[in-house]
Amino acid sequence: MKKFSSTGLATSRRRRVLINRVAVQAALIGLSIFFLLPLIWMIVTSLKPIDETMTSPPRWIPSHFEWGNFPKAFAYNSEDLGYIPFLVYGKNTIFVTILAVIGSVISNSLVAYSFARIKWRGREVLFGLTLATMMVPGPVLMVPMYALFKEFGWIGTFRPLWVPTCFGSAFNIFLLRQFLRTIPIELSEAAKLDGASEWRTFVDVIIPLARPALVVIAVFTFLWAWNDFMGPLLYLTDQQTFTLSMGLQFFQSQHTGTPWNLLMAASLIVIVPVIIVFFFAQKVFIKGIATTGLKG
Amino acid sequence: MNTRREQLVGVLFALPWILGFTIFLAYPLVTSFYYSFTSFSVLRPPHWIGTSNYRELIKDDVFHQSLKNTLTYAAASVPLATVFAILLAMLLNTKAKGMAFYRTIFYIPSLVPMVALGVLWLWIFNGHYGLLNEGLGKVGLPTPPWLTDPAWTKWTLVLISVWGTGNAMVIYLAGLQDVPQSLYEAAEIDGAKAIGKTWHVTIPMISPVILFNVIMGLIGAMQTFALPYVMFPGGQPARSTYFFSMYLYDTAFQFQRMGYASAMGWVMFAITLSLTLIALKLSSKHVHYEGG
Amino acid sequence: MNTAVAQRLAALAIVTAGLFAWVGSERAASRQTGSQRVVVTYWEKWTGDEMQAMKHIVDSFNASQSRIEVRYLSISGIADKTLLATSGGNPPDLAGLWGDQVVQFADAGALAPLDDLASKAGLSESTYKPAYWNEMTYKGHLYAFPSSPGTSALYVNRALMPPEYNSAEKFPKTLSEFEKFISKVSKKNNSGGLETAAFMPRDGFGSGSWPYLFGGDFQNGNEIEVNSATDLKAWEWVHSFAKRFGVRETQSFRSGFGNYSSPQNPFLSGKLATMMDGPWFSNYIRLYNPKTDWFVVPFPYPDGHPELAGYTVLNLNTLMIPKGAKHKSEAFEFIRYVQRQDNMERLCTEQFCNSPLSKVSEKFLNTHPNKAIRVFDELARSPRARGPVQVGIWNQISQEMGNAVDLMDVGGVEPKVALDKAQERLEDEWSKYREQVLNQ
């Protein structure tokens, strides 16, 4: 009797787990369709002949697939320019993005550590000031910002696009500070009792624990630098130094129509690397390999 | 460690930002504050006019309307987007097959360029033949004119904001990694169910991250620009989607009144700052920090 | 630091150094060319085919002589960059901007007057069609030269015309005839909604300039006036379309229009039987729906006012030399090259525009890709051709008028009330502008 009921309990429990799992999968798949809509739509549009783009009511399946749109978008304007803009712009974008990501991860982790885990006079004031800088709308800073970069002799170079990121940014500092403050103080204290300096505590104890947050910062900086349009538009002065986000502008025109299929093909070429980067970056969020073993 | 040394080490760690702030931000911030007391047509040197810009703002109907639009949008979209992003992150934090793909897929809307997104949304929300109304019509629900009726347009943007929560979702996902497994086990021993665990363990443990996302969501909502700019040029119809940042941008660059735009910017700053301080005050009892 | 971390950092350093070398070498290579020539930087706002059309002119200019090299940089959204760079004392030698920006830049003293250079080069009032000359000059000075212009006329979809309207000759000439035409051609579908509208004044090019049709204006002498009796008549006429088909029905019908720059453009998809647009629209037809059978007519004029016939709205792309440009006379050499009849006609042909010059070759009119180019050329010569009014707050005026019509059409506000409100706001804007920019 006793044995019987205990198996019954186990089955009902297993059934509950199973129902849970099915519900989770169903939610994941349902939401995926929802979130994939823009991508599907971009892919479909990029493979349509021009006269089937933007139809109303929407047309989801093209009459035939125009695979040629991709090479056409890739080589857009290249005859007139004498080079393939996608390659040149891609190279410039990679350059700016890599420098921005490296600079951003190093500087923000140092600064956030100071704000989160070292007690010093003036810390709270500076942190408040840091937060406040984000609340001033960007357009009103553009004129003095331009004047500043001109003073430095940086107009027409990549420097306005990546050098400032190497000094930290308010958003990333705040984000990382919040994460570092969730790490128990006892861990630092234990390291210091063992004779570790502040630097060693930072490098050996805190950085490994903060890996998910550091990856988030790297991903955000990557995205920001990759997609930035206003910065390159204002500060670059030679078409050969343009970035991919500017390259997409060339598909939209004032009076000669927009080739939507080519625009979407080009947009896909630009975002696919970002999707791949994110796919690999999100692995640090998989439970168990990051931090949990060390904590609690 | 003695305090003197700790002071030095603290400043040294923060040095990049202290330098960056001084070199790249201090001058533009101070200058734009100065511009707000001038008439400055961008192309000509600024001319001091005292508090005239701020006094003009008090009487400016369009400013009031854009402020009202923006605050309404922020009040609706920030809480909605917060709840939605936490739920998505928790879903993505479960152990299910193919999670790497789901995580990437859920983030994709945040990667799509704005021109593509704008056009897509105009399609989906179109009152005439849009996907959304087609669906609503089939199940017998009302089919409002999402894009053309001033009473609806703001709510269209609120709905879209809920959908574009990828960044917040990723931050929550990273935050959930930091919740010690042992706490859940302890709660289970105490007989907590899933909802209880979420409420008593997960939410308090990620509360610093929630605070971060709420404040950033607030700042972001107050400065909303790109999507309404693409979807509703000029804030049409009847300025119902004319947000603060759009008015500010038009004033600065189309109307070339940089002084007046700067005054708007600093009023915006004051409003956002007050809202943030309120949020910090309200949350101070509920945000839980492990690291002192 | 442990060795693994050190190795990674070293690898990172190598990658970074490599990147610098890679991108740096490219820069050096691109800077080699044309070191002996005076470099004129030219910023333009076009993309796509329009950008290419001007690129061809730039290339042929650079090849035609060995003293000057024009460096052409063209991307949409460049107006903000030009504004900031000019303000920062770092302007291009040559800027391609819209005609209505001439006034803003000139008022701020940010443009170099070109009167002397022009008269030496033999470019004068008689070189241009009067309406364009008016837009190029401001307060007695010449500030800008046209690159490519436009005028508006009514495109008609022949397939939707009953026999009595199916050619330019038979099409209505006056507004009362046009009224009848609208009732006849507009069609409802089975469920009572609109299927085809004969015309919608708020779609197409120049939808903010209807007061000109009735002889109205946006200014009166030195004052802004948008609510005169004639203005009211014009906007009531615009609003009458929303009333005629029903406010909600019009709203719903117009929301069914696809993207302007697509096959679902309301004219190309047959939702609008006629639409006002510029000569460039034939390129949209060619791209998105080449089977469309169309013709073009001047817009009908108000009954009893034949003197008001020839209504058309101007669009003007201009070349200007910002103050502080380093190579003013070299930049002007290029302007002069563009103004040559053969070059101008080539540019306008490739950009699907009419010519701003008073002299137009038969070859241009015969080979232009828009088969109706003669209608546009004729309209461009009309004494009724008007562009933006020459006041520095034109942007505010257009935004305010758009809002006023929205208030009438969807907000249920009386036209008179909406116009008075706009008038009040614009008067304030204008007095601020006079006080702060013009120092009056």
Burial bucket for residue C48 (CB in 10 Å: 0-12, 13-18, 19+) = buried
Min distance A136 CA to chain B CA atoms (Å): 5
Report chain C's mean pLDDT, rounded to a whole number.
Answer: 90
Residue C102 clears pLDDT 60, i.e. is over it: yes
Torsion sign over Cα A78, A81, A84, A89: negative
Whether the predicted pLDDT of B147 surpasses 80: yes
The confidence score (pLDDT) of residue A64 equals 87
Handedness of CA B109, B114, B117, B122 (dihedral sign): positive
d(CA C310, CA C383): 8
Residue C19, pLDDT score = 65
What residue of B is the nearest CA neighbor of C105?
Answer: B43
pLDDT for residue C352? 93
pLDDT computed for residue C72 by the predictor = 93
Residues 66-95 of C with CB under 8 A from A: 71, 73, 75-78, 80-81, 84-85, 87-90
- Which pLDDT belongs to residue C63? 95
Is the Cβ pair B148, C410 closer than 8 Å? yes
Between C189 and C203, where is the model more confident? C203
User: What is the pairing mode between strands C137-138 and C194-196?
Assistant: unpaired
Same domain, A149 and A110: yes
Which residues in chain A touch residue C71, judged by CB atoms under 8 angstroms apart?
Answer: 238
- Residue pair C285/C157 in contact (Cβ under 8 Å)? The answer is no
Minimal CA–CA distance to C414: which of C210, C235, C179, C211?
C235
Q: Which domain holds residue A35?
A: 2-72
* Domain architecture of chain B: domains with CATH: 1-30 (no CATH), 59-283 (1.10.3720.10)
Is C207 in the B-facing interface, judged by CB distances under 8 Å?
no
| CA gap C146, B156 in Å, rounded | 42
Q: Which residue has the tokens 């990828």?
A: B166
Residues A174 and A110 in one domain: yes
Q: Do C351 and A250 touch (CB under 8 A)?
A: no
Nearest to C398 by CA among A200, A143, B248, B234: B234
Each residue's pLDDT tens digit, C59-77: 999 999 999 999 999 888 8
Average pLDDT of the residues in C354-363: 96
Q: Strand (E) positions, C288-382?
A: 294-297, 312-320
Strand blocks (E) in chain B: 38-39, 47-48
| Cβ neighbours around A128 below 10 Å, total | 13
**Minimal C-alpha gap between B82 and chain C (Å):** 32
Which residues of chain A make contact with B243, given a CB cutoff of 8 A?
A: none
User: Would A149 be classed as within a structural domain?
Assistant: yes
pLDDT at A286: 59
The CA distance from A281 to A217, in Å, is 11
The residue that leads in pLDDT, A243 or B234, is: A243
Asked which of B133-142, B174-183, C149-158, C302-311 is least confident by mean pLDDT, the reply is B174-183
Instruction: Using alpha carbons, list the distances in angstroms from residue B148 to B191, C251, C253, C269.
Output: 52, 7, 10, 20
A141 to chain C: closest CA residue: C84
pLDDT of amino acid B131: 79
Residue C1 has pLDDT above 50, yes or no: no
pLDDT in single tens digits along all 296 residues of chain A: 444 555 566 777 788 778 888 888 899 999 998 888 888 888 998 999 887 877 766 777 888 898 999 998 888 878 777 888 889 999 999 999 999 999 999 999 999 999 999 999 999 999 999 999 999 999 999 999 999 999 999 999 999 999 999 999 999 999 999 889 888 888 888 998 998 899 999 999 999 888 888 999 999 999 999 989 889 999 998 888 999 988 888 887 666 677 888 989 999 999 999 999 988 888 876 543 344 333 33
Q: Are residues A11 and A35 in the same domain?
A: yes
> What is the rounded distance in angstroms from the CA atom of residue A90 to the CA atom of residue A241?
10
* Residue position matching structure tokens 């910017």: B265
Backbone φ and ψ for B265, nearest 5 degrees, come out as: -60, -40
- H/E stretch holding C280 reads none
Amino acid sitting at position C205:
F
From the candidates C9, C42, C75, C97, which should be mutated to test the interface with A, based on the most A CB atoms within 10 A?
C75
Residue pairs spanning A and C at CB distance below 8 A: 133
Rg (CA), chain A: 25
pLDDT at B152 over 60: yes
Contacts of A144 in chain B (CB under 8 A): 27-28, 31-32
| Whether residue A33 is found in the same domain as residue A86 | no
Name the more confident of C21 and C385.
C385
* Same domain flag for A209 and A112: yes
Determine, for residues B127 and C252 on separate chains, whether the beta-carbon distance falls below 8 Å: yes
Q: Are residues A101 and A225 in the same domain?
A: yes
| A34, A171, A292: residue with CB nearest B181 | A292
**Main-chain dihedrals φ then ψ at residue C119, nearest 5 degrees:** -65, -35
A153–chain C Cβ distance below 8 A for any pair:
no
Q: Which of residues 274-293 of C touch A (CB under 8 A)?
A: 278, 280, 283-284, 287-289
Residues A24 and A86 in one domain: no
CB contact under 8 A, C76 and A53: no
Instruction: Tell me the sheet residues that pair with C277.
Output: C153
Position A288 scores a pLDDT of 38
Do residue C402 and residue B119 have CB atoms under 8 angstroms apart? no
Span between the terminal Cα atoms of chain C, in Å: 69
Domain annotation covers residue A263:
no
CA distance A51 to C262: 8
Q: Tell me, yes or no, whether A91 and A36 share the same domain.
A: no
The answer, for C403 touching chain B at a CB cutoff of 8 Å, is: yes
Does any CB of chain C come closer than 8 Å to the CB of residue A32? no
- Indicate if A60 and A81 belong to the same structural domain: no
Amino acid at C307: E
Q: What percent of chain C has pLDDT over 70?
A: 92
Q: Give the chain B residue whose CA is nearest to the CA of C393.
A: B255
Return the CATH number of the domain spanning residue range C38-150+315-386. Answer: 3.40.190.10
Q: Is the pLDDT of residue C35 over 70?
A: no
Measured CA to CA, the distance from residue C75 to residue B141 in angstroms comes to 45
Dist CA C194 CA C253 (whole Å): 6
Question: pLDDT band for position C426 (50/70/90)?
Answer: very high
Is C29 a residue whose pLDDT tops 50? no
**Which tens digit of pLDDT belongs to each residue from A179-195?**
898 888 888 889 989 98
Max CA distance (Å), chain B: 72
Report yes or no on A67 lying in a domain. yes
From chain B residues 213-232, the ones with a CB under 8 A of any chain A CB are 215-216, 219, 222-223
| CATH label of the domain that carries residue A239 | 1.10.3720.10
Amino acid at A235: Y
Q: Is C259 at the interface with chain B, CB within 8 A?
A: yes
* A102 and A68 within one domain: no
Task: Name the residue in chain C with its Cα closest to that of B143.
Answer: C252
Neighbours of B18 (CB within 10 A): 17
* B50 interfaces chain C, CB cutoff of 8 Å: no
Q: Is the dihedral of CA C138, C144, C145, C148 positive or negative?
A: negative
Give me the residue from B16, B105, B119 closest to A35, CB to CB.
Answer: B105
Pure H helices in A121-229: 123-133, 142-151, 159-162, 170-180, 185-193, 198-200, 207-209, 211-227
Residue A239 falls within a domain, yes or no?
yes
Q: Would A272 be classed as within a structural domain?
A: no
Residue C5's Cβ-count burial label (10 Å; 0-12, 13-18, 19+) is exposed
pLDDT at residue C110 above 60?
Answer: yes
- pLDDT tens-digit map of A239-287: 889 999 888 888 876 666 778 889 899 999 999 999 999 888 888 765 4
Is residue A206 within 8 A of residue A114, CB to CB? The reply is no
Residue C346 has pLDDT above 60, yes or no: yes
| Pick among C62, C82, C264 to test the A interface (most A CBs inside 10 A) | C264
Q: Measured between CA atoms, how close is B238 to chain A, in angstroms?
A: 24
Segment C241-247 mean pLDDT: 89
Over residues C80-107, mean pLDDT: 91
C83 touches chain B (CB under 8 A): yes
Do A44 and A102 have their domain in common?
no
- Kindly report the length of chain B: 292
- Only one residue has tokens 């497994």, namely B181
CA dihedral A181, A186, A188, A189 (to 10 degrees): 140
Count how many pairs of residues, chain A against chain B, have C-beta atoms within 8 Å.
294
Q: Give residue B276's pLDDT.
A: 94
pLDDT of the residue at B179: 77
Residue of B nearest to A214 (CA): B174
How far is CA C295 from each of CA A31, B273, C149, C160, C213, rounded to the nearest angstrom? 49, 59, 20, 12, 21
Q: Give the pLDDT of residue C57.
A: 96
Q: Please give the pLDDT value at position A294.
A: 38
Bridge-based pairing of strands C141-142 and C219-220 is unpaired
Does B120 contact A at CB distance below 8 Å? yes
Per-residue pLDDT tens digits for C266-302: 999 899 999 999 999 999 999 888 999 999 999 999 9
Chains with 3 or more CB pairs under 8 A to chain B: A, C
Cβ A28 vs Cβ C237: under 8 Å: no
- Topology adopted by domain C153-313+388-436: D-Maltodextrin-Binding Protein; domain 2 (3.40.190)
Contact criterion met (CB below 8 Å) for C53 and C351: yes
Name the residue facing C108 among B43, B122, B128 (closest C-beta).
B43
Distance CA C65, CA C307 (A): 48
Q: Which residue has the tokens 């950008």?
A: C51
- Clarify whether residues A94 and A239 are in a common domain: yes
CB contacts, 8 Å: A249 with chain C: 47, 75-77
**Partners of chain C (3+ Cβ pairs below 8 A):** A, B
Instruction: Name the closest residue on chain C to residue A255, using Cα atoms.
Output: C280
What is the ipTM metric for this complex? 0.89
Mean pLDDT of C239-267: 86
Q: Give kind and range of the element (H or E) at residue C147.
A: strand C144-151
For B207-230, what is each residue's pLDDT tens digit? 889 999 999 999 999 999 988 988
Q: What integer pLDDT is reported at residue A295 of this predicted model? A: 37
* Rounded Cα gap, residues A124 and A121, in angstroms: 8
d(CA C161, CA C172): 12
Structural domain count of chain A: 2
Tokens of A88: 């040149």
Q: Which helix (DSSP H) or strand (DSSP E) does residue C276 occupy?
A: strand C274-277
B134 has pLDDT over 50: yes
> pLDDT value at position A56?
65
Measured between beta carbons, the chain B residues lying within 8 angstroms of A263 are 115-116
Which is nearest to C323 in space by CA: C111, C114, C136? Answer: C111
Is the minimum CB–CB distance between C105 and chain B shorter than 8 Å?
A: yes
